[in-house]
Amino acid sequence: MRQKFIYICIAIAGVFMHSCDKYLDIQPVGTVVPSTEADFRALLTSGYSVFPTHKSLLSLRTDELLLDEFSTDMAVLKDIYIWNDQAPDPTTLSYPWATFYKSIFYANLLLTEIDDKLGDNEVTKQLKAEAYLLRAYSHFELLNCYAPVYSETNRRHKGIPIAQTIDLEQKFPVRTMEEVYAFIADDMARATELMQVSNQPAEHRYRFSKRALYAFSARLHLYRSEWAKALSEAQKALAIEDGLVDLNNGDALVPTDFESVESIQAMDNPATPQVHSSTYVANNIIALYDQINDKRFAHYFKKSDDEYRSLKGGSNRFKVSFRNGELYLIVAEAALHLDNKTVALEAFDTLAQHRLSASAASEQQNKLDALSNGELLEFLQEERTRELALEGLRWYDLKRWGRPEIQHLFLGETYTLQQEDPRYTIRYPREAIENNPELL
């Protein structure tokens, strides 16, 4: 009976869920019920492959990019750029919703079937660990897009639906942020028990590993202001591999290159070709760099006429979910909030030695030694902006750093995202609301 049920799920999921329940609009995975290790690996690979490119669209909402008014894709991007979420043009690209749940669907199908088909061994444990993490990370990203920053005062704020089974009859009510985070934590705990691979090789860098699990956990706790846990998890990831690309070497890879020593996981695409070719880097971002002594500048940007374009995107080589550069900054930020200036300064110095000229790194170290914790936190925000420019994390940082005012000039008109603007929490997509009345 269960076999028949799973087969039905696979064969008609797309049609049934769209025409009847219409809650998540999930498409079918295929018509073959997985039964071998290769089948289940292929199933999970499908889950990875459909993971959305939402961070590319999020970057348009930040202060990092300028939209090229003459771009051929301007029409589908402009309403995102000017934060017109209320009544966008019908051609405007939609923020992902169903695609997140497609990735979750593949993970859920694997978790439902793999024990009965393959039993308990190292291979199945690894596959299950990755599936739990893909499901957890998908819910985490949904929450970051469609809910405010977590705090004790808003923990019961409306979040997103949780999808943990492939029962076609289930309803998908919106859960509170607290409930969603509890679900994510449970999935991550299960993955921790099952994970077999400490570090994925470059050719499988899109997959989760123990190193990626710790990096994910560090970011999650950072966003929740759980400083001791963020510090501990970042240090666990760095204990497996703490390398950084030395940008003083002119032939060095861009740190976000999936083959670089600091790449941990390369699943997210923060700069699709469509967005990458339609934008320039904002002047306020360019102004943050010492263009001579900060070696990131030449590796991150290239001048095009009077503007700068990013060298980090437009190619699958630059997919990045987690990397060591971010981990050192998590260590620094968490340590400062814990009044551990020594650990923070060590993290800043290690990063500087691989990003700045020798003289500039020494000068920065002397400067930072003299700063207070509060002043170091201000430096941290600037340094995080420099190091992680155009990697899809800026929108989340702006949300947790007080939701500052942003202005975009477009076709001669100035558009403003106000301080603490409610648009820092993205509206559920129109089609998601139409398909799921529980979202209202």
Where exactly are the structural domains of the chain?
Answer: 1-51+99-196, 54-95+226-440
Alpha carbon dihedral 378, 384, 385, 390, in 10-degree steps, equals: -170
Q: What is the pLDDT of residue 18?
A: 39
Nearest to 64 by CA among 366, 343, 333, 275: 275
pLDDT at 24: 38
Per-residue CA distances from 246 to 91, 255, 344, 361, 390 (Å): 43, 9, 20, 13, 19
Which residues contact residue 27 at a Cβ distance below 8 angstroms, ignoring those fewer than 6 apart?
13, 14, 102
Query: Could you name the CATH architecture of 54-95+226-440?
Result: Alpha Horseshoe (1.25)
Closest to 275 (Cα-Cα) out of 73, 50, 410, 92 = 73
Distance CA 334, CA 216 (A): 15
Contact 170, 31 (CB under 8 A): no
* pLDDT at residue 250, as a whole number: 87
- CA 62-413-270 angle, to 5 degrees, is 20
Give the DSSP H or E segment for 415: strand 413-417
pLDDT value, residue 422: 97
- Smallest CA-to-CA distance from 18 within 27, 8, 31 is with 27
Contacts of 130 (CB under 8 A, 6+ apart): 44, 191, 207, 208
Q: Is the pTM of this model over 0.85?
A: yes
94 CB-contact burial (10 Å; exposed 0-12 / middle 13-18 / buried 19+): middle
Nearest to 72 by CA among 86, 91, 87, 58: 91
User: What gap in Å lies between CA 379 and CA 384, rounded to an integer?
Assistant: 8
What is the pLDDT, as a whole number, of residue 167?
74
Question: CA 190, CA 47: separation in Å to the nearest integer?
Answer: 19
User: Do residues 436 and 161 touch, judged by C-beta distance below 8 A?
Assistant: yes
Which residues in 189-211 are b (16+ Cβ under 10 Å) and which e? Answer: ebbeebbebeebeeeebbbbbbb
Return the pLDDT at 1.
Answer: 43
pLDDT at position 27 is 42
54-95+226-440 shares the fold of 1-51+99-196: yes
- List Cα–Cα distances, 359 to 344, 353, 379, in angstroms: 20, 10, 19
Pick the CATH number of 1-51+99-196 from 2.70.70.10, 1.25.40.890, 1.10.150.130, 1.10.730.10: 1.25.40.890
pLDDT, mean of each 10-residue run, the chain (440 residues): 44 35 40 85 97 97 97 97 96 95 97 95 98 98 97 96 84 94 98 98 98 99 98 98 96 97 98 96 98 98 95 94 98 98 98 98 98 98 98 98 98 98 96 86
- With contact defined as beta carbons under 8 Å apart, do 258 and 319 qualify? yes
Alpha-carbon span 175 to 405, nearest angstrom: 30
d(CA 334, CA 373): 11
pLDDT at 169: 66
d(CA 226, CA 221): 5
Gap between the Cα atoms of 17 and 24, Å rounded: 7
Instruction: Provide the pLDDT for residue 412.
Output: 96
DSSP secondary structure letters along 152-197 = GGGTTSEEEE------TT---PEEEHHHHHHHHHHHHHHHHHH---
| pLDDT of amino acid 5 | 43
Asked whether the CA dihedral 56, 62, 67, 72 is positive or negative, the reply is positive
